[in-house]
Chain A
Amino acid sequence: MSRLTLAIPSKGRLMEQTTDMFARAGLIVRKVGHARGYRGEIDGLPEVDVAYVSSSEIADALKAGSIHLGITGEDLIRENISDAETRIGFVHKLGFGFADVVVAVPDCWIDVATVADLEEIAMPFRRRHGRWPRVATKYMNLTRRFFASKGFGDYRIVESAGATEGAPAAGTAELIVDITTTGETLRANGLRVLDDGVILKSEANLFASNMAAWTPELRSLCDGIGKRLGGAPRTPDRG
């Protein structure tokens, strides 16, 4: 029988929560060899190879089909894969890793509550400052798709690798698109989410790659893992 590759986040809360969740479902994940290694296995499922990979690389590997299953946030899937509906199967929502991708503006912009208001200030802003308002984000594709769906195009994206919430106060952007869980970090940085500014309500999912090589055996193995995680037995569309 061919083997099934499952990628699990390699560090942080997402790794811990994944390991806990799998344990509760009776799937004991162990690292193989060195404790700092990046390979593992599941007790009683010898056909499964576990790979510890960073969350964003899991999205890329699912997209390419170099792994069968992977656990990562829906935000990374939607951001990195433009045709996610075709390439990726949503096997099971895991109930952790909650994060909303939102548009946030300085709270002092009391004249701006919606994307339509942004559109209204964009042209005067350009007249005054000689450029469109800048949006700091690492979610370039989600941002572009969201604003395009609202018919708003008068802005510039500034790619941000980290500490995006600080960009408006630092003067490197006027507003941001970022993830938030409680909104605490946004508030601490003097930012507020627009009334219609929630782009995506994301959580961690077990995803299946429709691009990977699937056999009937691997599919039933995937079903089994999905079932034990308490999810509906959804499987990839393509064999």
Chain B
Amino acid sequence: MAAETTRDFEALEAQAQTLMSVFTKAGYDAVAPAVIQPADVFLDVIGESLRARTYVFTDPDGAELCLRPDLTVPTCRLHLARHADPTTPARYCYRGAAFRFQPQGADASHPREFRQAGIERFGDIEREAAEADVIAIVIKAMEKVGLKDWSLRLGDLGLFSSILDVAGISPLWKKRLDDAFLKPLAFRETLKAFATGSSVTRLSVPDALLSSLDGADPTASEAAVAAYLEEKSIELIGTRPLSDITEHLIGIRESREEKPLDAAAAALIGRYVGISGPARTAGAKIAELVNGAPSGSRAALEMYDRRLALLANAGIDLDRVTFSAEFGRTLAYYSGLVFEVRAKTLGPQSPLATGGRYDGLMRAAGADVDVSAVGAAIHTERLLAAMQGASS
């Protein structure tokens, strides 16, 4: 990769200062979280797949550390260090380097060291308003440095849950589909298995044992599993207790006995997952699904419409906004709204900014409760490239 020119360095510095001034004027406090972070938090939240993308190293004391792959987790840790009560409302903004190993080799759009500028806000009660505010400020900041040609793509992981409620499926299927939604491949298999009534597991556990288990009587069920292990001379070892094993076996048994997902519900879920397009059209499609569904709850639809109204109020041109039901499924720690800002000049693989809601992250960083959290980060080198590409 070619070395950064003086001109690019100066342009990036000027751009970052403008972005930060928009953030701080909007009431976000400037912070500078540590570059070196404990690896634990990242690996625990995001899982081992992250290790392949992160510079993890061991210091001379044997502690496992990493170069921050983003500034969101470090900002959460900074918030926890500042406030004994993690739900204390706070708004932060930052600019700084983040580091990611690029398995396909680093290039200009995917450098291994890049500079982010972003905002995070914690402890908001008005959830949708906080989300709309974050989106509006990020876009406003990018417009302030000269970005004209942008589009906004929305997704919502929470909406899927609401759609499952509307589909009128059993709590067991709901829980399983909810867990599987974040894993697109597993999801398709699960949905298929549920719709056809075929079992997903291939265990050697005898049916007699499975059918003797009863979720209402965990003590007797555990005793039955213990007796089976004894009979087979299998020693119970390790950290996973008998109760975990028994509970999972009961789950397997229940899903074998559960009636297949009815065709109408499976079709509804399938149609929802397929929704993608202009935000207002997508809203109309969701309305169609919800209104035609057996259970009449309109909560999901209301949430969707409220969000669009808030964005429009904040000055976002809804003609530039699209919605995709599948978007966000492969992103690491988001729990509700997800969004990305794209530029035509850079293409879909290189969003200029990404963000969303991540209510579970503060707990993973050490808080004892979930904390309302929403934020976004701008990939500043891409932002500069998008504008240079547009002007040349």
Contact = CB atoms under 8 A, between A and B. Distances in A.
Looking at chain B's contact residues, the main secondary structure is: helix
B238 A124 contact: no
Contact of A151 (B185, B203, B234, B239): B185
B183 A151 contact: yes
B146 interface: no
Interface in A103-130: 106-111, 113-114, 116-117, 119-121, 123-125, 128-129
Contacts of B247: 124
Contacts of A135: 48
Nearest to A119: B186
B57 interface: no
Contact of A157 (B48, B225, B235): B48
B252 A153 contact: no
B198 to A, nearest CB: 14
Nearest to A143: B48
A120 B248 contact: yes
Contact of B48 (A108, A111, A147): A147
A56 B186 CA distance: 37
A97 interface: no
A36 B201 CA distance: 55
A106 B201 contact: no
A128 B244 contact: yes
B44 A144 contact: no
A147 B237 CA distance: 24
A107 B235 CA distance: 8
A154 B47 contact: yes
B179 interface: yes
B82 interface: no
Contact of B238 (A116, A157, A171): A171
B205 interface: yes
A169 B238 contact: yes
Candidate in A154, A174, A195 with the most chain B CB atoms within 10 angstroms: A154
Given A124-B244, A157-B51, A114 B202 contact: yes
A119 B183 contact: yes
Contacts of B238: 106, 108, 168-169, 171, 174
A132 B44 contact: yes
A155 interface: yes
B51 A125 contact: no
A174 B49 contact: no
A110 B202 contact: no
A148 B49 contact: yes
Contacts of A129: 239
Interface residues of B, number: 33
Interface in A121-173: 121, 123-125, 128-129, 131-133, 135, 144, 147-148, 151, 153-157, 168-169, 171
Interface string B249-263: 100100000000000
B248 A144 contact: no
B200 interface: yes
Contact of A153 (B47, B205, B236): B47
Interface in B132-184: 179, 183
Contacts of B9: none
Given A106-B238, A110-B245, A124-B248, A153 B203 contact: no
Contact of A110 (B179, B183, B228): B228
B338 to A, nearest CB: 18
Nearest to A109: B245
A111 B239 contact: no
Nearest to B46: A153
A108 B203 contact: no
Contacts of B179: 123
A169 B237 CA distance: 5
A233 interface: no
A156 B235 contact: no
Question: 3 smallest A-B Cβ distances: which pairs?
Answer: A153-B49, A153-B47, A168-B238
5 contacts: A111-B249, A117-B201, A144-B52, A156-B43, A168-B238
Given A116-B201, A119-B183, A144-B49, 4 more contacts: A114-B202, A156-B47, A190-B235, A190-B237
